[in-house]
Structures are given as C-alpha cells and as structure tokens.
Amino acid sequence: SGDTGGAAIEAFRDRDNADVFILFPEGRVSPFQQKQMTTTGAANVHAIAVKGNFDDCQAIVKGLFGNRDFRERVALSGINSINWGRIVAQVVYYFTSAVALGAPARPVSFTVPTGNFGDVFAGYVAKRMGLPVRRLAIATNVNDILVRTLAAGRYEVRGVTATTSPSMDIQVSSNFERLLFEAHGRDAAAVRAMMGDLSARSAFTVSENALAAIRDDFLAGRASETEVAATIRDTFRDTGFLADPHTAVGLTVARRLAEPAVPMVTLSTAHPAKFAEAVAGAAGREPLPPPGFGDMLKRKEVFDVLPNDRLAVEKFILSRARAAAEKV
C-alpha cells in the first residue's frame, strides 16, 4: 500500500543474501511513497507496479505463497502483516504508550487507522497478553468494509474508492481473518468456510456469537474526505501538529468515540510529507520531508509495470531472484 514497501526496502537493500520484490498498485500511492520504492538504486531491490489496487497486489502475494514449489524454490518470505513477525513487533508500542498513561492501574483505549487490520490486531494481541485495553477503535476512510461488518455482521466487498489516505484503500483486510479465528473459538473449519464464501461470493456472514465477541473489544468509525481535511486543518491550527491523512482519519474517529474517563491514544501511521499535496491543501502549510529525503523526489525511478496476474509476477520473480537461479 506504500508505507511498508519503503520500510522493507530500507531494511533489505544491498543485502547479499536477499532479493526484495515490492508490489504496489499503479497510480494508487503518493509520489513520495512511490519514490521511496523506486529510487534506491540497489541491485537487489525490484519494484513492481501492478495494474490493479492493493487488494489485487495482496491476492497475488497470497497466491505466490500458495504455490509450494515456487515458494520453496525462491525461499519466499513475506514482509507485510501477512508475516506474524510484523504484528509481534507492533505489540510493543501498545504496552509502551499504555504504561506511559498509567497502565496497568488504569485502562487505555486506542484508535488505529486501519486498512489491512494488522496494526489494530496487534493491539488485540496486547490485550490478550494482559494489557488493560478498554476498547480498540477501528478507523477507516470511506472504504469502510470493517465499519459495515461490525454494524451488520456481514463482510461484503465493494469497489475501492481512491482517497487521500491510500494505504487504507482496501476491501479485503487480511488480518481480519486472524480475528475471526479467535472470535470463533479457533475453529479453523468455520473460518475456512467464511473465506470460501468470500472467494466465491465476495461476502460472508459473521455468526452472532462471534460478532458479539468482536464488539466486546472493538469499535469502528469512518471518516469522509471532508472530515479528514478539516481534522488536518484544525489540528494544525490548534496544536501546530501536521497530521497526514491516515492519522487524520484516526483523530476524526477518536474524537467521536472517546470516553471522558479513559485516555484515548491515536496511532500516527505516516509522515505528512508523504502526502504533501493533501496536507498542504488542508492546512495551508507544506510539510517538510524528513532528514535524508530532500533529494529523493529528484532521483530517477526504476520499476517494472506488470498486469494483475499472479503468473506474470511469478515469472518476473523467477527471472530476477538469485535463489531461483541457484536452484536451476
């Protein structure tokens, strides 16, 4: 979706024993996000613009993992929240922030800008580990499938709408499957049936008991584009803090759902410079890029454009991955 790609590339660039293949949806990430993925100049980094949306990219990656021969040939590993290790790392800052606000003596709530459900699921894991989390508020933009699911108990995929918070322009939230597994008493067959319905009919129904269990821990709210712009403007005017659009989604929902006696932490998930046009348009102030990124937008981009097709991506990876060449 744009944010994980840049972080993963920075971690793995120029490593002798790893090739990095980053898929991003063509035309659906910000210029800053795209440049983070396409201007490294590292020989082991391969940026791929897929002619589709984030859900299409993620479906391709899941399909690659489902091909056992391919997976083993290239020693495939995931770097977004498909990988459990990503979620484990995110659990830490729930504890850090809650303790700073008085936990475990007092409960704390969190609002999390949510697309793929990984970050907010880390909050759920923290709660299951014993952290006194009152509620976890799922904050979405107009791509509000999770809000609709918690309201009606039906997960129904609709078209993806492009917004100023593109990392949340998602309909198929992969980590929601993990929550369903927990809410159904770790009944793998029940979750498998729902995922089958999702694949066949683009929708499934959550059982009443599971929905009640989810509602015990989670709230959900959405923010329109108008509300996001107003929150960016008002937050900057009142505090001097420039919020990126994803953070503004979280702040909008947090202000609506917060309880007076319980501290509410809103996770800020991206730097405003990644979305300079939207932030400047709302706040009237151009966000400055962080140190070290000033010349990035001027660098030459190197990336390949591929169709929304798993086999095309698989063929591309096999042609570039050193692990594949070594096993021929």
Q: d(Cα 120, Cα 137) in Å, to the nearest integer? A: 8
Model confidence band, residue 327 (pLDDT cutoffs 50, 70, 90): low
Q: Which of 6-20, 97-111, 171-185 is the least confident region?
A: 6-20
Distance linking the first and last C-alpha atoms of the chain: 32
Checking if the pLDDT of 295 tops 90, the result is no
Contact 224, 142 (CB under 8 A): yes
Model confidence over 163-186: pLDDT tens digits?
999 999 999 999 999 999 999 999
Across the range 103-121, mean pLDDT stands at 97
Model confidence over 146-157: pLDDT tens digits?
999 999 999 999
Checking if the pLDDT of 82 tops 90, the result is no
Model confidence over 240-279: pLDDT tens digits?
999 999 999 999 999 999 999 999 999 999 999 999 999 9
Query: In this predicted structure, what is the pLDDT of residue 104?
Result: 97
- SS3 (DSSP) at 113: strand
Contact 242, 287 (CB under 8 A): yes
- Return mean pLDDT, the chain: 95
Report how far Cα 285 is from the mean position of its chain's Cα atoms: 26
Is the Cα torsion angle 300, 167, 309, 45 positive or negative in sign? positive
Q: d(Cα 219, Cα 89) in Å, to the nearest integer? A: 23
Model confidence band, residue 290 (pLDDT cutoffs 50, 70, 90): confident
Given this structure, which CATH class describes domain 84-283? Answer: alpha beta
Query: In this predicted structure, what is the pLDDT of residue 328?
Result: 53
Contact 47, 299 (CB under 8 A): no
Share of the chain above pLDDT 90, in %: 88
- In CATH terms, is domain 3-80+292-326 a member of 1.10.3720.10? no
- The domain ranges of the chain are 3-80+292-326, 84-283
C-beta neighbour count of 72 within 10 angstroms: 11
Checking if the pLDDT of 81 tops 90, the result is no
Same fold flag, 3-80+292-326 and 84-283: yes
Checking if the pLDDT of 1 tops 80, the result is no
Q: d(Cα 265, Cα 292) in Å, to the nearest integer? A: 29
Model confidence over 204-229: pLDDT tens digits?
999 999 999 999 999 999 999 999 99
Model confidence band, residue 5 (pLDDT cutoffs 50, 70, 90): confident
Q: d(Cα 75, Cα 83) in Å, to the nearest integer? A: 14
Query: In this predicted structure, what is the pLDDT of residue 118?
Result: 95
